[in-house]
Amino acid sequence: MWEYTDKVREHFLNPRNVGEMKDASAVGEVGSLACGDALKLFLKIDDNDRIVDATFQTFGCASAIASSSALTELLKGRTLDEAAEITDKEIADYLGGLPEEKMHCSVMGHEALDVAIKTYRGEPIEAKEHEGNIVCHCFGVTDEMILRTIEENGLTTVEEVTHYTKAGGGCGNCIDEIQLLLDEATGKVAACEFPDDRPHPNLSNIERMQLVMKVLNEEVRPRLKQDGGDVELIDIDGHFVKVALRGMCTSCPSSKLTLKNVVEKALQEQVEPEISVVEVSK
């Protein structure tokens, strides 16, 4: 049995806001019986685009029920714009965390909300919902969805993608494709495509260190600072550059992507292609 927080258990055993809302302004429905979990979200929205009530019906495991309950609590009182900002992580955090393997339950909440808001705004859901190409046929997950989830949650492994989206959790035929998407999102593909000629061939240790510092100080840090973040160089060990994220970057869910796509990429391009950036806590 999974390790659930008390709050997950509480919301599972006593879910808030259960049931169909007959006079709902918007309904968002995702999942299916075949997929093993499904959520129907009902919203009542006032004239100022504020959600005054939210209810749900869920078919699924304990965390799916708890996540749905949490979502409805989070939604009440928010405007649609504010509601649209809710992330999977926020739903999970509200519950004091979910086991990694159960993160797809909070993702489902996020999707249902997306569908409900789009319905209300008259945006085309069908087209949007199936935007992109289906990667995982067992669970009907598209590349768009996988890429968004990787980015929002800083995922780095196929296993994590499976936990968050279910893609890859069935027959496993899509695993190679998920890996490709991960490589794309984390910049690895781009790194492989670098021309072989190195920017600075045969660097000595001291030269490498100086160059890394230069690129970090002149290029990377100013970029991160624009968003309230920063990065500090901790150590250089061969081609491993150890850094610590600072400021907004520390709490940013995409910090891993920042490390790969911004910091590592800049160093690979301007110092040596073999460089790997690792985050250390200091």
138 versus 233: smaller Cβ distance to ligand FES: 138
96 versus 170: smaller Cβ distance to ligand FES: 170
107 versus 266: smaller Cβ distance to ligand FES: 107
For the bound state, the minimum distance from the C-beta of residue 138 to ligand FES, rounded and expressed in Å, comes to 3
Q: In 122-154, which residue ranges form alpha helices assigned H by DSSP? A: 125-129, 143-153
* 244 neighbors 231 (Cβ within 8 angstroms): yes
Among candidate residues 99, 16, 104, the one with its CA nearest the CA of residue 64 = 104
Q: Is position 172 an interface residue for ligand FES (rule: CB under 6 A)?
A: yes
Instruction: Answer yes or no: 35 catalytic.
Output: yes
Has 105 been labeled as part of a binding site? yes
Q: Which two tokens stand for residue 254?
A: 């995409």
x/- mask, another protein, residues 35-54, rule CB under 8 A, reads: xxxxxx--------------
Q: Is position 171 an interface residue for another protein (rule: CB under 8 A)?
A: yes
As a whole number of angstroms, the distance between CA 202 and CA 211 comes to 13
As a whole number of angstroms, the distance between CA 109 and CA 120 comes to 17
Burial of 122 (0-12, 13-18, 19+ CB in 10 A): exposed
Has 252 been labeled as part of a binding site? no
Q: Is position 57 an interface residue for another protein (rule: CB under 8 A)?
A: yes
For the bound state, the minimum distance from the C-beta of residue 110 to another protein, rounded and expressed in Å, comes to 17
**What's the Cα-to-Cα distance from 75 to each of 7, 110, 131, 216, 230, rounded to whole Å?**
17, 11, 25, 41, 32
Q: Is position 5 an interface residue for another protein (rule: CB under 8 A)?
A: no
Instruction: Answer yes or no: 105 catalytic.
Output: yes
57 versus 79: smaller Cβ distance to another protein: 57
Residue 174 interacts, among another protein, ligand FES, none and using kind-specific CB cut-offs from 5 to 8 Å, with ligand FES
Has 174 been labeled as part of a binding site? yes
Q: The tokens 């999102």 sit on which residue?
A: 185
For the bound state, the minimum distance from the C-beta of residue 114 to ligand FES, rounded and expressed in Å, comes to 22
Among candidate residues 180, 159, 179, the one with its CA nearest the CA of residue 169 = 159
Q: Is position 36 an interface residue for ligand FES (rule: CB under 6 A)?
A: no
Q: Using the rule CB under 6 A, which residue among 32, 173, 210, 250 binds ligand FES?
A: 173
* 174 neighbors 133 (Cβ within 8 angstroms): no
Q: Is position 138 an interface residue for ligand FES (rule: CB under 6 A)?
A: yes
* 23 neighbors 52 (Cβ within 8 angstroms): no
As a whole number of angstroms, the distance between CA 139 and CA 30 comes to 12
Has 192 been labeled as part of a binding site? no
37 versus 272: smaller Cβ distance to another protein: 37
Backbone angles phi, psi at 229, to 5 degrees: -110, -175
Active site residues: 35, 105
**Interface with another protein (CB under 8 A):** 1-2, 9, 12-13, 15, 18-19, 29, 32-40, 57-65, 101-102, 104, 134, 137-140, 162, 166, 169-171
